[in-house]
Chains A and B, each alone.
Chain A
């Protein structure tokens, strides 16, 4: 580090930031500083407070305590408008794009130039085209955002910040939705922005990429800044330790598989999404008893619809699905349930739980209608109470009683409630979609353990996850999904992350 870009070049700093939400201290006296032309990474697991801190900087949250300095001057940021006027731009984890509007409209929104009272679209289009060319984005301002692939949408988000001449760019988990190759492309863009003198705050929980792209890494854990390191002074193990606060077993312990007969057979299955677009295109694969079949792929390649079709939430357009030797009709969740299928849904708040219900009712949500939980028309409460109390204990759900409202539980315990309901009975097939999304490390380990136990008990497991590490560590067999088809099936021993990354991007030749 040379002397001249020290001190004077610090363009932004946060001092002693505190932010609490009911029951959680999300940021606990965090200090953070950013220099001109550097890529500064915020590393931490889910719930460590990274996004909260950045939302404070971007004016979406008001901190309880603490100060923000920009160019050495104390500033108060009340709203995104303030942040933007200070040259701060943010690419949110969930894109802030309006699908029903054009690229141009999305970019100029809030920053429209006028001509005779109307929006000057010509001038805006020109500027966007110039910027797009400069950074090799190849975006067409007239395209509708909903028609663009995820990677392109991210570029629209970046362009939104650049259009406003942002000097500080915050990127919240930008690689979560990208293939390793697309991430590489993004890193190129970030490097060129850095060379231009822009400063970048990069948020991630993926150790490898953090080491690759960062100039400096600040680790957050439980709302506290644990420390800052340079990538050349550290390694993955050390960072993981800082992130979690204890030794992390990066590898899930599991026995060799005992593969049995096929339990789930999917033949030429085609599924349309709710807009009527074909997203699963004649997919074929089998899952055997005693096997964990992992579906790897970039989000939006048909995984969600595949799982919904298999579990009866979406109708098939064509093809057949056989569970445990019998063909299913589809479009009927109960039929699938009665075949001995457990389903851990991708979105537990949407599908998995009725949040205002007591835990008791959520634990019998799928089985309430048959004996012994109901007699004729009436619910049989003594049996329901007995069963749910048993599950509560067995699956280690932390609650004072089965009558606690599910909404009041932590994310981990909510997911355990779903798992308890689904696995607390005889099952032959488990379909788990993003089972650990947004959970803390303890809950992740617990859920992984349960999935492996289920497989060891002779159950077939279909695991769909966008976390490549999860797929690699749990699966026995890996199928790579691309544009609604399994493009390649490999055993987990032979698979490497790089190879999967290429396959996920639809590149088959090099393998």
Chain B
């Protein structure tokens, strides 16, 4: 028994160690790239730090970006748990933003405690529907969700562009955007003077809720079983198709909530130039968190810090913000292939735990 306990502790320790070393190694690679392109590594990383955690305002801003990262990260992680790779969080986020914006400006005369929840729920439902479509297609036709979600991202971005420039256009605006949402649909700020809004609290609640759904309910048990072994799930009488659609709908709903939060808490309108990128980074966040809802929080924070700090880094060290993308790609690579990290740091492999295998060919 004692030996077993030690083993378990060690396993937990490696679960933290590998992500940590992955991040460090990626930052080192980033440093090499900065150095190679002739910039000052210290200034760059100092800028990165100060831009994300330098003072109260930047910290609050980091949490502002953390909010959609948590929600989209949870979205992708939830899909992973059902064996689905949702690359479409970006499109689902747009769908949520569109719906929330529309309810926000078009439904007039509602009190705050009704208007805001309706706008939020509309965002969740819109994202959910946009997510459920590739889930349905996978369930019924075996079409791989990776390609379909990417295609639906492209379609949604075009659709948003069309809607914002045509039926939803605010004719008074100088740049193409929707009308401003009404005050009654605002997500309130948490602290006066800072942009951090109640969407952050919703994201934290979502973490607990998703944990509860996944590990304490029948639905979660089914989704996890389908994710780990579809044949066994079918044998146990679970409906695979239903779970695919449901998991993608919940996943899309989370991303939709992220989009609603951006509109209702931050922008108060939806511009045609709306570019989030949260949905793509979410893949890395979910992988880094190993699809654990609680671990999504620190991963999301890291990504938010990189995103927010990049601006100051660019100013201070004249290094392109794209460096952050490169660092992020390396983080995912090391997380996905832990053997590279183990090799680099001479860590002995523990018993390989079964992960989520996504690659199952293009059809059933």
Q: A357 CA to B236 CA in the complex, in Å?
A: 14
A294 within 8 A of B: no
Q: Contacting B234 at CB < 8 Å: which of A313, A400, A405?
A: A313
Q: Which residue in B221, B232, B237, B351 is a CB contact (below 8 Å) of A334?
A: B237
Is there contact, CB below 8 Å, between A350 and B231? yes
Which residues from chain B contact A352 at a C-beta distance below 8 Å? 232, 235
| Least CB separation from B352: chain A residue | A407
Q: Which of A59-67, A143-151, A177-185, A374-382 contacts B (4 or more CB under 8 A)?
A: A374-382
Among the 9-residue stretches A11-19, A38-46, A222-230, A365-373, the one with 4 or more Cβ atoms under 8 Å from chain B is: A365-373
A333 within 8 A of B: yes
Query: Is B221 in contact with A379, judged by CB distance below 8 angstroms?
Result: yes
- CB pair A313–B235 under 8 Å, yes or no, is yes
Q: Is B218 part of the contact surface with A, judged by Cβ < 8 Å? A: yes
Q: How far is the CA of A236 from the CA of B139 in the complex (A)?
A: 53
Contact with B along A308-347 (1 / 0, CB 8 A): 0001110000000000000000001111010000010100
Query: Are the CB atoms of B237 and A337 closer together than 8 Å?
Result: yes
Give the residues from 227 to 241 in chain B that come closer than 8 angstroms, CB to CB, to chain A.
228-229, 231-237
Q: Which residues of B contact A355 (CB under 8 A)?
A: 228-229, 354
Q: Which of A333, A377, A408 contacts B237 (CB 8 A)?
A: A333
In the complex, what distance in Å separates the CA atom of A175 from the CA atom of B157?
Answer: 61
Q: Does A476 contact B (CB under 8 A)?
A: no
CA distance A351 to B232 in the complex (A): 4
Is B346 located at the chain interface by the 8 A CB criterion?
A: no
User: Does A356 reach chain B (CB closer than 8 Å)?
Assistant: yes
Determine whether B92 belongs to the interface, using a CB cutoff of 8 Å to chain A.
no
B contact residues around A350 at 8 Å (CB) = 229, 231-232
CB-CB under 8 A from A337, the residues of chain B are 237
Q: Does A354 contact B (CB under 8 A)?
A: yes
Tell me if A378 and B232 are in contact (CB < 8 A): no
Interface string of B1-45 (1 = CB under 8 A from A): 100100000000000000000000000000000000000000000
Chain B residues within 8 Å of A305, by CB: none
Residue of A nearest to B226 (CB): A354
B236–A365 CB distance below 8 A? yes
Could you tell me the distance in whole angstroms from the C-beta of A405 to the nearest C-beta in chain B?
A: 8
Residues of B within 8 A of A335 (CB): 237
Contacts A354-B228, A356-B353, A365-B225 given; indicate if A333 touches B234 (C-beta within 8 A): yes
B321 sits at the interface (CB 8 A): no
The answer on a CB contact under 8 Å between A368 and B235 is: no
Chain B CB within 8 A of A353 CB: yes
User: Does chain A have a CB within 8 A of B216?
Assistant: yes
B217 in the interface (beta carbon within 8 A): yes
Q: How many residues of B contact A (CB 8 A)?
A: 20
Check if A361 is an interface residue, CB within 8 A of chain B. yes
Q: Is the CB–CB distance between B232 and A353 below 8 Å?
A: yes
State the CA gap A407–B351 with chains docked (Å).
Answer: 11
B59 on the A face (CB < 8 A): no
A353 to B216, CA, bound (A): 20
The distance from the CB of A374 to the nearest CB of chain B, in whole angstroms, is 5
Contact A377 B228 (CB under 8 A): no
Select one of B1, B217, B232, B354 contacting A400, CB under 8 A: B1
**CA–CA, A378 and B4, complex, Å:** 31
Q: Closest CB-CB distance, A246 to chain B, in whole Å?
A: 31
Which of B1, B221, B232 is packed against the most chain A CB atoms within 10 Å?
B232
Alpha-carbon distance between A64 and B216 when the two chains are bound, in angstroms? 46
Could you say which residues of chain A place their CB within 8 Å of the CB of B235? 311, 313, 333, 343, 345, 351-352, 365-366
Question: Is A378 in contact with B353, judged by CB distance below 8 angstroms?
Answer: no
Contacts of A368 in B (CB 8 A): 218, 221, 236
| Contact flag A378-B218 (CB < 8 Å), given A333-B234, A333-B237, A337-B237 | yes
Residues of A near B354 (CB, < 8 A) are 355-356, 407
B218→A369 contact, CB < 8 A: yes
B216 contacts A378, C-beta separation under 8 Å: yes
Q: Of B1, B221, B235, B351, which is in contact with the most chain A CB atoms at under 10 Å from its CB?
A: B235
Q: Tell me which residues across on chain A come within 8 A of B233, comparing CB atoms.
A: 354
CB-CB < 8 A to B237: which residues of A? 312, 332-335, 337, 366, 369
- What residue in chain A is nearest B212 (Cβ atoms)? A378
Cα of A77 to Cα of B203 in the assembled complex, Å? 59
Determine the distance from Cα of A361 to Cα of B238 in the docked complex, in whole angstroms: 14
Question: Per a CB cutoff under 8 Å, which of B218, B225, B229, B234 touches A379?
Answer: B218
Q: Mark B208-252, 1 if CB is under 8 A from A, else 0.
A: 000000001111010001001101111111000000000000000
Per-residue CB contact flags for chain B residues 294-316 toward chain A (1 = under 8 Å, else 0) read 00000000000000000000000
- The reply to whether B225 and A354 form a contact with Cβ atoms under 8 Å apart is yes
Given the interface pairs A332-B237, A355-B354, A356-B353, the reply to whether A377 lies near B218 with Cβ below 8 Å is yes
* Chain A residue, CB-CB nearest to B230: A350
Assembly CA distance A354 to B1 (angstroms)? 25
Whether A354 pairs with B4 at a CB distance below 8 angstroms is no
A408, closest chain B residue (CB): B351
Q: How far is A90 from B32 in the complex, measured between Cα atoms in Å? A: 52
Instruction: Assess the B218–A354 pair: CB atoms within 8 A.
Output: no
CB neighbours (8 Å) of A365 from chain B are 225, 232, 235-236
Contacts of A353 in B (CB 8 A): 229, 232
Name the contact of B217 in the complex, choosing from A333, A354, A356, A379 (C-beta under 8 A).
A379
Report the bound CA distance from A182 to B321 in whole Å: 71
Query: When chains A and B are docked, how far (Å) is the Cα of A350 from the Cα of B229?
Result: 7
A312 / chain B contacts, CB cutoff of 8 Å: 237
**Which A residues lie within 8 Å of B1 (CB)?**
400
Q: Which of A333, A356, A377 contacts B236 (CB 8 A)?
A: A333
Q: How far is the CA of A386 from the CA of B317 in the complex (A)?
A: 62
Query: B139 CB to closest chain A CB, in angstroms?
Result: 15
> Which A residues are in CB contact (< 8 Å) with B218?
368-369, 374, 377-379
Residues in chain A near residue B231, CB distance under 8 A: 350-351
Q: Given the complex, which residues of B lie within 8 Å of A366, measured CB to CB? A: 235-237
**Nearest CB of B to A433, in Å:** 12
Q: In the bound complex, what is the Cα–Cα distance between A387 and B221 (angstroms)?
A: 17
Give complex CA distance A200, B1 in Å: 49
Q: Which residues of B contact A311 (CB under 8 A)?
A: 235
CA A365 to CA B218, docked complex, whole Å: 11
Contacts of A405 in B (CB 8 A): 353
B63-100: which residues lie under 8 A (CB-CB) from chain A? none
**Separation of A383 and B290 alpha carbons in the complex (Å):** 29
Query: What's the minimum C-beta distance from B209 to chain A, rounded to whole angstroms?
Result: 12
How many angstroms between the C-alpha atoms of A357 and B218 in the bound complex?
Answer: 15
Nearest chain-B residue to A350 (Cβ)? Answer: B231
Q: Are B232 and A379 in contact (CB under 8 A)?
A: no
Docked pose: A374 CA to B221 CA in angstroms: 11
Q: Output the nearest chain B residue to A400 by Cβ-Cβ distance.
A: B4
Give min CB distance, B11 to chain A, whole Å. Answer: 11
Most A CB within 10 A of own CB, among B216, B234, B237, B351: B237
- Residues of the A chain whose Cβ atoms lie less than 8 Å from the Cβ of B232: 350-354, 365
Task: Point out residues on A near B: beta carbons under 8 Å.
Answer: 311-313, 332-335, 337, 343, 345, 350-357, 361, 365-366, 368-369, 374, 377-379, 381, 400, 405, 407-408
Q: 6 nearest interchain CB pairs?
A: A334-B237, A356-B354, A351-B235, A333-B237, A365-B236, A354-B229
- 12 A-B Cβ contacts within 8 A? A313-B234, A333-B237, A335-B237, A353-B229, A355-B228, A355-B229, A356-B354, A357-B228, A361-B221, A365-B225, A377-B219, A378-B217
A333-B236, A353-B229, A379-B218 known; 10 new pairs, CB 8 Å cut-off, are A332-B237, A335-B237, A350-B232, A354-B233, A355-B354, A357-B228, A365-B235, A366-B237, A368-B218, A405-B353
